[in-house]
């Protein structure tokens, strides 16, 4: 009879253990299985085209105005009118500076009066000599000098020329630059430099080219001019220097560049890219698309969301582009150009377009 309670206690413990096992097991079995997310590598791509690629020569040069003159007063006098200001745009024939010209006009009248007197004396003497001398002994030039006609005509012409110098006209259309602050009433000395006039509608750039390369260039060759701010302007080779610098072993070329927007300014340092040969293929791709593995060149082309590598033999490689001519390519193919160094054939990637 004493064993009954012990049996009940053991039985109760077994029931409790089974109950606990029954309660905890469904929680473990009912928890759904989870699958970790796959992260694909981000690769940058670029769409290709079939444009030609040019091999180029590069050289630095300085921008020059096509026409550039120093504006100088030819006469001394007081300023009557002035239009010389920094940055002023003028047209050919515009009056830039005018001096008070009363003195010069009086001088023209005086010399004109003296000339008429000399001219009358010359004509009278000429008629007398024609009547009393043989025509073969008569010398008109000598008579003009003896009567003062020649000297009077020269004095009159010089006075007229001086009067014209009292007005400074723009010799061509362009922009004025000056450091002076001129005003009417100020006295101007003859020979004073009052500013500069520059025509920058077309500018010139002088570039140095190695003597081993200059023979490849021709007048009319296209040249791309690049500015420090990233601007690009197309110009034309207009002249080849006939001489080579013996010390630097370079020859100089001159490039004319249209500059309607005025972004190319005299004194600016620019880089010239001189186009030489043009190369074409099935497609043109950025230079960054080209990789090398096991001493073979290849590119990665996008197909859906996978990349496939293709071995290539480029037609030409420049600093910016590569021309490919394999039959598997078509213009418009999308090639990897960045973050593609570690990807593999048929790998799924996260596509980003440049």
Q: What pLDDT is recorded for position 163?
A: 94
Q: What is the mean pLDDT of the chain?
A: 87
CATH architecture of 55-66+200-279: Beta Barrel (2.40)
Q: What is the largest CA-CA distance in the chain?
A: 191
**Packed helices 149-164 and 102-132: angle between N→C axes, nearest 10 degrees:** 160
Q: What pLDDT is recorded for position 29?
A: 42
Tell me the backbone φ, ψ of residue 35, rounded to 5 degrees: -115, 125
Q: In what order do the strands lie in the sheet with 316-317?
A: 283-286, 321-324, 316-317
Mean pLDDT to the nearest integer, 112-133: 87
Confidence bin at 172 (pLDDT 50/70/90): very high
DSSP string, 174-192: EEEE-S----TT-EE-TT-
Evaluate if residue 38 carries a pLDDT over 50.
yes
| pLDDT tens sequence across 246-258 | 888 999 999 999 9
Of 245, 312, 247, nearest to 285 (Cα)? 312
Q: What is the pTM of this model?
A: 0.59
Evaluate if residue 26 carries a pLDDT over 60.
no
Give me the residue label for tokens 């186009």: 275
Q: What pLDDT is recorded for position 54?
A: 84
What share of the chain has pLDDT > 70, as a percent?
A: 88
CATH number for the domain whose boundaries are 44-52+281-353: 2.40.420.20
Confidence bin at 33 (pLDDT 50/70/90): very low
Q: What pLDDT is recorded for position 36?
A: 53
| pLDDT tens sequence across 175-189 | 999 999 999 999 999
Q: In what order do the strands lie in the sheet with 187-188?
A: 167-169, 95-99, 77-82, 187-188
Higher pLDDT among residues 9 and 292, named by residue: 292
């Amino acid at each position: 009879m004493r064993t009954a309670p012990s049996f009940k206690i053991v039985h109760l413990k077994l029931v409790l253990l089974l109950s606990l096992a029954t309660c905890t097991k469904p929680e473990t079995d009912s928890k759904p299985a989870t699958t970790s997310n796959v992260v694909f590598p981000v690769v940058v791509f670029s769409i290709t085209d079939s444009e030609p690629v040019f091999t180029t020569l590069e050289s630095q040069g300085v921008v020059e105005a096509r026409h550039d003159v120093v504006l100088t007063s030819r006469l001394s006098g007081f300023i009557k009118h002035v239009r010389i200001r920094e940055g002023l745009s003028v047209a050919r024939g515009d009056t830039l500076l005018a001096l008070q010209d009363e003195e010069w006009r009086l001088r023209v009248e005086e010399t004109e009066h003296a000339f008429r007197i000399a001219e009358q004396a010359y004509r009278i003497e000429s008629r007398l000599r024609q009547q009393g001398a043989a025509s073969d002994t008569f010398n008109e030039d000598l008579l003009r000098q003896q009567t003062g006609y020649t000297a009077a005509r020269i004095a009159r012409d010089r006075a007229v020329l001086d009067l014209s110098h009292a007005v400074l006209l723009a010799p061509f259309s362009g922009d004025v630059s000056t450091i002076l602050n001129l005003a009417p009433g100020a006295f101007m000395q003859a020979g004073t430099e009052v500013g500069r006039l520059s025509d920058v509608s077309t500018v010139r750039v002088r570039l140095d080219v190695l003597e081993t390369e200059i023979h490849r260039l021709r007048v009319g060759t296209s040249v791309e001019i690049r500015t420090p701010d990233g601007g690009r302007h197309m110009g034309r080779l207009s002249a080849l220097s006939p001489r080579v610098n013996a010390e630097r072993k370079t020859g100089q070329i001159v490039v004319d560049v249209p500059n309607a927007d005025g972004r190319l300014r005299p004194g600016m340092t620019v880089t010239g890219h001189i186009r030489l040969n043009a190369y074409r293929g099935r497609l043109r791709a950025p230079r960054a698309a080209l990789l090398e593995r096991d001493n073979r060149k290849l590119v990665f082309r996008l197909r859906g969301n996978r990349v496939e590598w293709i071995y290539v033999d480029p037609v030409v490689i420049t600093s910016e582009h590569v021309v490919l001519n394999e039959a598997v390519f078509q213009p418009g193919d999308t090639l990897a150009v960045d973050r593609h160094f570690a990807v593999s054939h048929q790998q799924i990637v996260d596509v980003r377009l440049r």
